[in-house]
A = this chain, B = another copy of it.
Amino acid sequence: MASKLIAVVAGVGPGTGAAVVRKFAATYPVVLLARTPDSFSQLADEINGNGGKALGIPTDVSDAKSVKSAFSKIESEFGKDFGLAAAIFNASGGFVRKPFLELTEEEFVSSWNVSAKGAFLFSQATLPYLLKATSSSKHPPTIIFTGATASIKGSAQMSSFATGKWALRSLSQSLAREFGPQGVHVSHAIIDGVIDIPRTKEWLKDAGPDAKISPEGIADSYWHLHTQPKTTFTWEIDIRPGVEKW
């Protein structure tokens, strides 16, 4: 039994990652993983300054050593008997859109490296701590994977991003079938639209004020998934603006 419950979020950036961190930090100490401290330092300070607890660790989720090192640091900070109430995988490989015959092997592999191998490494690192938390966590320990439109559609010129996202979706389904019966809730979210972050400020300006997905809305849904009881697990939800064409 885990004596202390925490949450970990991989792929912390200005959008979904940050909103999810803030949402879960209201209840749990949260570990923030991103490749560079720039992605999480300010957010960690904000949470620690507001009476929450946040620990940022620079991590490359596609690298087994880096993931292992991150979890050593988590153990150093929280002790060996912590458990994970929640693990959110929000990292994505490079988004490339170009004619297939111009795609380099490196570009093709880059998406999979994060979306699939990264998710594999993250899952192997977190599942033992999620399993350890099944008896002590109020809500079933939960691992959530962030997908995209490309998780269910292989568009022209998008094979790099889509192959990674389809693989991620498949991984999450396989894990749901294996770990659901063991008390861990495995979910996959299809985020089908443009997320409202600084980088997309100028996008979809003509589509009205509600054309972009609110990161806070995504975080609320992730939290809802986390609170579902063992008898009522959702594997997959889709999330899109009401005005979206799909």
Is A238 located at the chain interface by the 8 A CB criterion? yes
Bits for A184-222, please: 1 = Cβ < 8 Å to B, else 0.
Answer: 110000000000100000000000001111100110110
| 20 sample A-B contacts, Cβ–Cβ < 8 Å, listed by A number | A64-B105, A100-B127, A112-B117, A120-B159, A154-B174, A155-B177, A162-B171, A163-B171, A166-B169, A167-B170, A181-B243, A183-B242, A213-B231, A213-B232, A214-B232, A231-B242, A232-B239, A233-B240, A234-B238, A236-B237
Say how far A48's CB is from chain B's closest CB, in angstroms. 28
Is A180 located at the chain interface by the 8 A CB criterion? yes
Is A81 located at the chain interface by the 8 A CB criterion? no
Please give, as numbers and ranges, the residues of chain B lying within 8 Å of A184 by CB-CB distance. 242
Tell me the A residues contacting B by CB distance below 8 Å. Answer: 64, 99-101, 103, 105, 108-109, 112, 116-117, 120-121, 123-124, 127-128, 140, 153-159, 162-175, 177-181, 183-185, 196, 210-214, 217-218, 220-221, 224, 227-246
- Contact partner of A157 (CB less than 8 A), chosen from B173, B178, B180, B217, is B178
B241 touching A235, Cβ below 8 Å: no
Please give, as numbers and ranges, the residues of chain B lying within 8 Å of A64 by CB-CB distance. 105
Please give, as numbers and ranges, the residues of chain B lying within 8 Å of A211 by CB-CB distance. 231
Give A208 to B66 CA distance when docked, in angstroms.
40
A117 touching B109, Cβ below 8 Å: yes
- Contact partner of A167 (CB less than 8 A), chosen from B116, B212, B232, is B116
- Supplied contacts A100-B174, A212-B231, A231-B242, 20 more A-B pairs, CB within 8 Å: A99-B178, A108-B120, A109-B117, A116-B163, A153-B173, A154-B169, A154-B170, A157-B178, A159-B170, A159-B171, A165-B170, A167-B170, A180-B242, A210-B230, A211-B231, A214-B229, A217-B228, A218-B232, A221-B224, A232-B240
